[in-house]
Amino acid sequence: MRSSFRIGRVAGIDIGVHYTWLLALILISWSLAQGFFPQIAPGLSMGTYWIAGVIGALLLFVSVLLHELAHSIVANARGLRVHSITLFIFGGVSNIEGEPERPQVELVMSIVGPLTSLVLAGIFYGFYMALGTSYRGGALSAVLYYLAYVNGLLAVFNILPGLPLDGGRVLRSIIWAATGSLSKATNIASTTGRIIGWLLIALGVFQLFSGNFLGGLWIAFIGWFLSSAAESSRREVSLQEQLGGVRVGDVMEPMPECVDSHVTVRELVWLNFIQHNRRAVPICYDGKIQGIVTLTDVKRLPQEKWDDTTIESIMTRSPLYTVSKDDDLAVALKLLAQHGLNQVPVLSEGRLVGLLSRADIIRYLQISQELGILRPKPVSR
């Protein structure tokens, strides 16, 4: 997630915090100190409520982190790479590379999160009970009570059966196992996800008008976040489906013109970018790709230097991210998205045979949608 900073590393996984998390930290501390704690433990000083509020909010985030760590550790053990966990205003996200290939893996990976929250709720409740009645009404017992309650709430909320919630993934894995179709399962689980999102928005608006302004707004926001995330996970799978089975070689620009590394930047701009409508040009020597130079690379160089700078000094050098012409288009799109690239050279037996850009993929999608699906490409005669 962008605009987040790293705070540490646990079990080989980077832990990051998004700036919206700080807002949540303040809001939650404030609502605990001003509302929740004075209600369940009346008669304490304002300072005590604030200290308890901040501790409660921080321990809530530790709880969320443990929930996410459970997902990540299972994912890691099942061979999926986990890059990082980021805490943000609505909770935490694990940045996991790839998707589980079997429904059983998705089921286990998803269910451990809510289970962890449930166990945490039990542990905090156990401590709360162990304190005994003489401490009831004190700050410590209030914090423990809150943590038991909020972890229970996290477990229940996350097991609701709609994407992108854990329960939605559980539902998807069950339908996936039963039907053998990931896209059918995703469609159903994202539909229930959108329904849950809308219900939360309705509930939030209702609360808002019955006087609970902040709480209502909060619930409506979570509902909106869920329904849009459900929609985008449905879109992602349908995109994968549309692109799956199409080869990179069928969509790429074949035989892109290679440029010599000694050409000046001004020549490149006029002859390649402007006259031939390109945004990226491969640089080759003897058929082997040496690097790539893009509009973005040129933009970094002041115009008065264009005449006496060769593209060799501004190009991105090999090794570059590349794809093979027999690769699936869905795989290539993932590579572009993951590394924030606009285009990628296409190789066959180590030699440059084409260039695949995001624009090529979009063009394919537009034409295939307009004409109905086009594949497979006929074998050339």
- Pick 159 or 346: Cβ nearer Zn ion: 159
Of the pair 115, 140, the CB lying nearest Zn ion is at 115
Q: Where are the alpha helices (DSSP H) in 32-102?
A: 37-40, 46-77
Closest approach, Cβ 88 to Zn ion, in A, equals 13
Residue nearest to Zn ion (CB): 113
110 versus 272: smaller Cβ distance to Zn ion: 110
By rule CB under 5 A, what string of x and - marks binding of each residue 143-172 to Zn ion?
-----------------------x------
Cβ at position 65, least distance to Zn ion in Å = 11
Determine phi and psi for 101, rounding to 5 degrees: -90, -15
Residue 41 or 154: which CB sits closer to Zn ion? Answer: 154
Sign of CA dihedral 273, 277, 280, 285: negative
Region 272-311 residues binding Zn ion, contact defined as CB under 5 A? none
- In angstroms, give the least distance from the CB of 199 to Zn ion: 20
The number of beta carbons lying within 10 Å of the beta carbon of residue 255 is 10
Nearer to Zn ion, 16 or 345 (CB): 16
Q: Are 190 and 163 in contact (CB under 8 A)?
A: yes
DSSP secondary-structure letter at 303?
Answer: G
**68 catalytically annotated:** yes
Q: How many CA atoms lie within 13 A of 344 on its CB side?
A: 27
Find the shortest distance in angstroms from Cβ 114 to Zn ion: 7
List the interface residues with Zn ion, window 80-119 (CB under 5 A).
Answer: 113
Task: Tell me how far, at minimum, the Cβ of 92 lies from Zn ion, in Å.
Answer: 8
Mapped onto helix, strand or coil, the DSSP state of residue 263 is coil
Mark residues 193-232: x for contact with Zn ion by CB under 5 A, - for none: ----------------------------------------
- Number of Cβ atoms within 10 Å of the Cβ of 299: 10
Residue 1, both tokens = 């997630």
Closest CA to 120 of 80, 60, 44: 60
Strand-pair partners of 357? 343
Catalytic residue annotation: 68
Q: Which residues bind Zn ion (CB under 5 A)?
A: 113, 166
